[in-house]
Amino acid sequence: MAGLLALLQGFSQSSDAQTDPASLARAARDTDDHLPSDVADDCDLSEGSGREELPRDELCIADLRRREVSFEVASAEGVSTPLRFADVRGVVIHPRSGRPTEHDVTDCTLIAALSRWAGTLRADGIRSLSHMSIYRRGAHVAGTSRASGHAAAMAIDVSHFEFDDGTSFSVEDDWANATPGVSPCVSLDGESDHQRRVRRVVCAASASGLFQVVLTPHHNAAHRNHVHLEVRPDVTWRILE
């Protein structure tokens, strides 16, 4: 730990409404075989496809520097490697409120996952993500004593996707067919180009193996206005709902 702190210094310049993963064991499956062809074939999964293990701690810091991701060292209770950042490889990531808060603190491993997902986002013309929160000190999964991914700054709740043409996609207003039990990766008749692209990149986030928990408006009413993407480096399962 002392070595990590020294390395960081050298580089320096509440309840959660998701379902307990234990109760989602039925959905903890490899999703690759369930993706429609436009997701499996068209997404840029050259990085993170398969089962790439994300770097952590000291290796993670070095990985971000190699990828030229700008960051600042932060401090946050319960976060292994707390950092602040604004963009990853051409994708700007910012709070929906428009101002920095403690909720922007991010564990390095989540930033590493986002940096690998960025190629998929840019390939579909997405230049910016707005989030509702990343870090929430002491957050727990609703109805349980289990710590939420937000408590460790390992999860991000994305509420808006902005495209290169300036169009802003609101998860709450623009998500196509959020019927519970319907796969978010099912192609829909009549969906707009932007709806198709957002669905595609979200499904790719799971298919890439970078995010072990991906919860969409299909999951429950609490997720009607955001997509929850969470990194769980120590598990072998994935959830996509």
Residue range 196-200: mean pLDDT, rounded: 94
Structural domain spans, the chain:
2-240
Band (pLDDT 50/70/90 cuts) for residue 233 is confident
Q: Which of 139-153, 165-179, 198-212, 213-227 has the lowest mean pLDDT?
A: 139-153
CA distances from 131 to 22, 46, 98, 227 (A): 26, 25, 10, 9
Least confident range of 100-109, 168-177, 209-218: 100-109
| 194 against 3, higher pLDDT | 194
Tell me, what's the pLDDT at 81?
Answer: 94
The pLDDT value given to residue 143: 72
SS3 230: strand
102/169: higher pLDDT = 169
**Cβ-based neighbours of 110, under 8 Å, separated by 6 or more:** 134, 153, 154, 155, 156, 231
Q: Which residues contact 120 (CB under 8 A, 6 or more apart)?
A: 43, 44, 45, 201, 204, 205, 208
Residue 185 has pLDDT above 50, yes or no: yes
Per-residue pLDDT band for 220 (boundaries 50, 70, 90) equals confident
Question: What contacts 162, CB < 8 A, 6 or more positions away?
Answer: 126, 127, 128, 129, 130, 168, 169
Average pLDDT for 34-61: 50
| pLDDT above 80: residue 4 | no
pLDDT per residue over 56-77, tens digit each?
A: 777 899 999 999 999 999 999 9
Is the model more confident about 32 or about 207? 207
What's the CA gap between 24 and 3, in Å, rounded? 38
Joined together, the tokens standing for residue 186 give 């099912």
Contact 135, 153 (CB under 8 A): yes
- For the chain, give the mean pLDDT: 79
Q: Residue 106: name the closest of 62, 47, 150 by CA.
A: 150
pLDDT mean over 176-199: 88
Highest mean pLDDT out of 34-38, 99-103, 175-179: 175-179
Tell me the C-alpha to C-alpha distance, in Å, between residue 127 and each of 87, 94, 162, 166, 221.
10, 11, 6, 9, 27
> For the residues 202-230, what does the mean pLDDT come to?
93
Of 224, 228, 132, nearest to 178 by C-alpha is: 224
- Assess whether pLDDT exceeds 70 at residue 24: no
